Amino acid sequence: TQLLEQSPQFLSIQEGENLTVYCNSSSVFSSLQWYRQEPGEGPVLLVTVVTGGEVKKLKRLTFQFGDARKDSSLHITAAQPGDTGLYLCAGAQGGGSNYKLTFGKGTLLTVNP
């Protein structure tokens, strides 16, 4: 059973369109991270959300953490080809020596020019 479910698994859109991808779980997380991974590279951290209901904006990307800290969404406005990549969410549990990070399988986004 996957602890973190990401949807959709694949998404292909045209440049200029808006999109939202989701990260859902039945577990509560102390924080949730979003990464983007480009072909041939490792994931790069985009944002960390910590507080339930928190909204963070990074240029055209808007991240929201659910009120119950079990889910998150990533909204991209006016997508560009440079946004193409695998978007991964990762939930953090515990702290100190018990800190653990669990990843979802990701949403593969393709933005066509």
Partner 1 sequence: KAGVTQTPRYLIKTRGQQVTLSCSPISGHRSVSWYQQTPGQGLQFLFEYFSETQRNKGNFPGRFSGRQFSNSRSEMNVSTLELGDSALYLCASSFRPDRDYEQYFGPGTRLTVT
Task: Read off the tokens for 53.
Answer: 């209901």
Of the ranges 18-26, 54-62, 74-82, 87-95, which one interacts with partner 1 (CB under 8 A)? 87-95
Q: Is 85 in the site for partner 1 (CB under 8 A)?
A: no
Residue number with CB closer to partner 1 (27 or 99): 99
DSSP the chain: --SSEEE-SEEEEETT--EEEEEE-SS--SEEEEEEE-TTS--EEEEEE-STT-EEEETTEEEEE-TTSSEEEEEESS--GGG-EEEEEEEEE--GGG-EEEE---EEEEEE-
Q: Does 22 bind partner 1 (CB under 8 A)?
A: no
- Residue 92 binds to partner 1 (criterion: CB under 8 A): yes
Task: Rank residues 64 and 107 by Cβ distance to partner 1 and give the closer one.
Answer: 107
Measured CA to CA, the distance from residue 101 to residue 31 in angstroms comes to 9
Interface residue with partner 1 among 85, 104, 109, 111 (CB under 8 A) is: 104
41 binds partner 1 (CB under 8 A): yes
Give me the residues that bind partner 1 (CB under 8 A), please.
Answer: 2, 30-31, 35, 40-45, 48, 50, 88, 90, 92, 95-97, 99-106
